[in-house]
């Protein structure tokens, strides 16, 4: 089962420990995560289910390509890493 982990910065705002989540696409994996942690949804995706501009998701060492439908394939042994981009000066 894919393992999903989150940046420390995101965990400061919401409890989101690393978790195993079923699914063969990023969308399915994230839906599994949201089922067990509903408040996390609004931090990561908009009301249309698209990845928010300040959020990035990597599968292993590759950034996902489909930020709208989250259709990138996820294998059973993949690691999915979710983080919020930081900006400022």
Q: Which residues 6+ apart lie within 8 Å of 61 measured at CB?
A: none
User: Is 89 part of any domain?
Assistant: no
Is residue 45 within 8 Å of residue 33, measured between CB atoms? no
- Total number of domains in the chain: 1
Structural domain boundaries enclosing 23? 3-84
User: Is 11 part of any domain?
Assistant: yes
Record the pTM.
Answer: 0.91
Per-residue pLDDT of the chain (89 residues; tens, 9 = 90+): 999 999 988 888 889 999 999 999 999 999 999 999 999 999 999 999 999 999 999 999 999 999 999 999 999 999 999 998 766 55
Q: Which residues 6+ apart lie within 8 Å of 26 measured at CB?
A: 57, 59, 64, 66, 70, 71, 72, 74, 80
CATH of the domain at 53: 3.10.20.30
């Amino acid at each position: 089962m894919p393992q999903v982990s989150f940046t420390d910065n995101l965990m400061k705002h919401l409890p989101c420990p690393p978790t195993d989540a079923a699914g063969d696409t990023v969308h399915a994996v994230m839906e599994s995560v949201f089922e067990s942690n509903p408040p996390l949804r609004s931090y990561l995706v908009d009301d249309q289910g698209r990845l928010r501009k300040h959020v990035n998701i990597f599968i292993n060492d590759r950034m996902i390509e489909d930020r709208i439908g989250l259709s990138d394939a996820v294998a059973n042994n993949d690691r999915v890493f979710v983080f919020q981009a930081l900006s400022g000066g």
